[in-house]
Amino acid sequence: MSYPYQIKSFQEYKEAWEKSVNDPESFWGEIAEHFIWRKKWDKVLEWNFKEPSIKWFQGAKLNITENCLDRHLKTIADQPAIIWEPNDPHEHHRTLSYKQLHFKVCQFAQVLKNNGVTKGDRVCIYMGMIPELAIAVLACARIGAIHSVIFGGFSAQSIADRLQDAKAEYIITCDGAFRGGKDIPLKSVIDDALVVCPFVKRTIVYTRTRTPVSMIKGRDVWWEDEIYKVETMGNPAVAAEEMDAEDMLFILYTSGSTGKPKGVVHTVAGYMIYTNYSFVNVLQYRPREVHFCTADIGWITGHSYILYGPLSAGATSLMFEGIPTWPDAGRFWDIVDKHKVNILYTAPTAIRSLMSYGLAPLENKKLDSLRVLGTVGEPINEEAWHWYDEHIGKKKCPIVDTWWQTETGGMLISNMAGVTPAKPTFATLPLPGVQPVLVDENGNEIEGNGVSGNLCIKAPWPGILRTTYGDHERCRKTYFSTYPDLYFTGDGCLRDEDGFYRITGRVDDVLNVSGHRIGTAEVENAINMHAGVVESAVVGYPHEIKGQGIYAYVIYSGKHHEDELIRKDITATVSRIIGPIAKPDKIQFVSGLPKTRSGKIMRRILRKIAEGEMEKLGDTTTLLDPAVVDDISKGKL
């Protein structure tokens, strides 16, 4: 494949950005010409941020899998689409060419149809990182079913919440998943979730770990048996369902500052074009290169940059089942050498964690196939940036620091590898089509350089979320009402003297732990469910490896065992309610929380205490009981 819209110089970038802002319709319309449509659009863009209502390529008909699979059959059918590296390095890797992936997606699409799944149905996917996960996702897209992938680290309760919110009647899962030395019993977690979700009609279970599972008659079927049935039907090639440009492609749940996680909705055409465009330009993909995005498909990064972006670009995408530190901290580097990886796209947390093992795991690793490095998910600190540059990229690979969100579908602010300037810890400049603005607390735009404010975006790009599933008002309130006519990101941001952007972190009550988004309110609700807990307040604090750690202040009045045991019990409760990813790192028992006279918890003070900045607590005289601050400070962990 060639990419006529791949930007090749800083000058070209500047021109593309100007054009995208002055005439977004012809800018994106021209790019869209390079995709496969059943019918072209009547109008490129219609929008307002008031409702919000955002429509890209209205009137167009297409199927995203024809763009990701069918179109490559004429040109690169035998090229690897997915290279899969298993958790255990002794197990053989698997390669699926575009032809093989197409065949398997059609086969599984037929399985879905045989099991009653039709266009518009919601299908929940809860699997480990195996090729069948990619196949399941694409098979849904092929028949127009809406997939909702849930990360394997979420608990039964979290799954049940999501199933109920999406009214998902179909589930695709595995007996279990391998992750490092662990074997996670996925089907058994699903079974617990289904106790409160009687509306689920069918669960399709793929065998991965041979963990014993209970299969309920009439509800649960084996993936392998269902494939066998399709084989005996003669493997009919399932035609791709014709979709409207603005039909839903998927729902992905993400945490916010209040309430339960919300289902971010992305639609077919705009998302496809934006993930492809950003993949090709930011990572500067070249045909036949091997691209390794280390994210899990349970998060947006995996959706956009393991699956849809790379596959629509005819790239070879490497999918890894395991974790960077198992069986040892050289695993990523072994994979890079084994598969001659050219592009490595990972999270700062992974880099910091690998850094902590020193340079020994890098001995005898060549890493000479690497050409581009990338990071995503959280701010990267200088030290980690330089380590990545020096020891992994050998100072020869451009590093792209890509800022974006579940809601944005794809990268919004990032340098383009080797094409636009990089600056350590800076996401740098907006992609074409993206107009960042910084605003002060009153919503006034802060102009000029060398300033900081809250980061908003002025106009829609094709990958922007369209709604939050089942609750459009929540979407409006969360993203489009804080500052009128702007999309509010929830992030704080600095624009330096050169006009480069540096994301400084969330300004709302959302934590970013190891690049995973977790709402403080969610964690508090989970802690408060523990018997004996009266009240709690959760804040983030700087954590050397995870970026942010979770610090919980808890008022406990239950029967007093020793503190350490209660801490473990509370942690177990959080694990049970949300999942192991939300476990607090520190739990401090307190007698009271700093509240204003109106009863609001002053989190700013708690944050400062957790950060160890006692001298910067600020004015505490407006508190209901200022003495409580002293007590809390003294008990800091």
Parallel, antiparallel, or unpaired: how do β-strands 290-293 and 343-346 relate? parallel
Which CB, 67 or 301, lies closer to ligand PRX? Answer: 301
The residue (of 432 and 547) whose beta carbon lies closer to ligand PRX is: 547
Stretch binding ligand PRX (CB under 6 A), from 416-424, 504-512, 580-588, 620-628: 504-512
Q: Which two tokens stand for residue 317?
A: 């995408």
| Closest among 85, 82, 86, 84 to 99, alpha carbons compared | 82
In terms of CB distance, is 278 or 489 closer to ligand PRX?
489
- Residue 110 touches ligand PRX, criterion: CB under 6 A: no
Stretch that binds ligand PRX, among 11-19, 58-66, 283-291, 505-513 (CB under 6 A): 505-513
The DSSP result for 317-367, as a single string, is EEEE-S-TTSS-TTHHHHHHHHHT-SEEEE-HHHHHHHHTT-SGGGTT---
Query: Minimal distance in Å, beta carbon 458 to ligand PRX?
Result: 17
Q: Does the protein bind ligand PRX through residue 377 (CB under 6 A)? A: yes
Distances (CA, A) of 63 to 32, 105, 148: 14, 13, 18
C-beta closer to ligand PRX: residue 158 or 402? 402
427 near ligand PRX, rule: CB under 6 A: yes
Interface region with ligand PRX, contact rule CB under 6 A, candidates 79-87, 437-445, 501-509, 608-616: 501-509
The DSSP bridge pattern shows strands 182-184 and 177-179 to be antiparallel
Q: Does 294 bind ligand PRX (CB under 6 A)?
A: no
User: What number of CA atoms fall less than 13 Å from residue 558's CA on the CB side?
Assistant: 19
The residues that bridge with 12 in the sheet, in sequence order, are none
The structure tokens listed for 605 are: 């003070």
Nearest Cα to 275, choosing from 487, 18, 68? 68
In the complex, least distance from residue 283 CB atom to ligand PRX, rounded to whole angstroms: 14
Q: How far is the CB of 378 from ligand PRX (least distance, A)?
A: 5
Q: What are phi and psi of 307, to 5 degrees?
A: -100, -85
What is d(CA 437, CA 422) in angstroms, rounded to the nearest whole number? 20
Among 144, 379, 463, 540, contact with ligand PRX (rule: CB under 6 A): 379
Closest residue by beta carbon to ligand PRX: 406
Please tell me whether residue 512 binds ligand PRX under the rule CB under 6 A.
yes
In the complex with ligand PRX, the residue whose CB is nearer, 540 or 594, is 540
Residues 227, 545: Cα–Cα separation, whole Å: 43
Angstrom distance (rounded) from CA 285 to CA 502: 24
Cβ count near 275 (within 10 Å):
28
Site string for ligand PRX, 547-576 (x = CB under 6 A): ------------------------------
According to CB under 6 A, which one of 52, 436, 462, 490 is a site residue for ligand PRX? 490
When the beta carbons of 466 and 517 are compared against ligand PRX, the nearer one is: 517
Per-residue contact flags (x/-) with ligand PRX for residues 609 to 628, judged by CB under 6 A: --------------------
Instruction: Candidates 243-251, 484-492, 522-530, 625-633: pick the segment binding ligand PRX (CB under 6 A).
Output: 484-492
Q: Is 50 left (phi over 0), alpha (psi -120 to 50) or beta?
A: alpha
Say if CB 557 and CB 532 are below 8 A apart: yes
Q: How far is the CB of 346 from ligand PRX (least distance, A)?
A: 12
Q: Which is nearer to ligand PRX, 65 or 489 (CB)?
A: 489
Q: How far is CA 407 from CA 202, 255, 267, 431, 589, in A?
A: 29, 11, 12, 16, 36
- From 233-241, 372-380, 553-561, 571-579, span contacting ligand PRX (CB under 6 A): 372-380
User: Running DSSP on this structure, what letter comes out for residue 288?
Assistant: T
Min. distance of Cβ 273 from ligand PRX in angstroms? 18
The piece of 115-123, 209-217, 486-494, 577-585 that touches ligand PRX (CB under 6 A) is 486-494
Closer CB to ligand PRX, residue 95 or residue 452?
A: 452
User: Residue 286 CA to chain centroid, in angstroms?
Assistant: 24
Query: Which one of 303, 352, 517, 567 is in contact with ligand PRX (CB under 6 A)?
Result: 517
Q: Is the Cβ–Cβ distance between 107 and 230 less than 8 Å?
A: yes
User: Within its chain, how far is the Cα of 221 from the centroid?
Assistant: 29
What is the pairing mode between strands 316-320 and 220-222? unpaired
CA distance 609 to 615: 9
Q: How many residues bind ligand PRX (CB under 6 A)?
A: 22
- Bond into 379 cis (ω within 30): no
CB of 121 to ligand PRX, least distance (A): 25
Closest alpha carbon to 313 in 272, 254, 354, 258: 272
385 versus 553: smaller Cβ distance to ligand PRX: 385
Query: Nearer to ligand PRX by C-beta: 17 or 403?
Result: 403
Distance CA 596, CA 273 (A): 48
Residue from the set 173, 254, 342, 428 that interacts with ligand PRX by CB under 6 A: 254
Return the structure tokens found at 301: 């990064």
The smaller minimum CB distance to ligand PRX, of residues 211 and 504, is found at 504
CB of 297 to ligand PRX, least distance (A): 13
Tell the smallest beta-carbon distance from residue 397 to ligand PRX (Å): 17
Q: Give me the least distance between CB of 96 and ligand PRX, in Å please.
A: 25
Site string for ligand PRX, 386-425 (x = CB under 6 A): ---------------xxxxxx-------------------
Task: Give CA separation, 120 vs 139, 148, 249, 513, in Å.
Answer: 13, 12, 9, 33
Q: Among 164-172, 226-234, 374-382, 467-475, which window interacts with ligand PRX (CB under 6 A)?
A: 374-382
Secondary structure class of 409 (helix, strand, coil): coil
Nearest to 487 by CA among 541, 543, 430, 531: 430
Q: Which is nearer to ligand PRX, 3 or 487 (CB)?
A: 487
In the complex with ligand PRX, which residue's Cβ is closer, 302 or 584? 302
Residue 620, CB-side half-sphere exposure with 13 Å CA sphere? 20
Q: Which is nearer to ligand PRX, 287 or 505 (CB)?
A: 505
Counting every residue written for the chain, the total comes to 637
User: Nearest distance from residue 68's CB to ligand PRX, in Å?
Assistant: 20
| Candidate list 187, 495, 506, 603; residue touching ligand PRX; CB under 6 A | 506
List residues binding ligand PRX (CB under 6 A).
254, 300-301, 376-379, 401-406, 427, 489-491, 503, 505-506, 512, 517
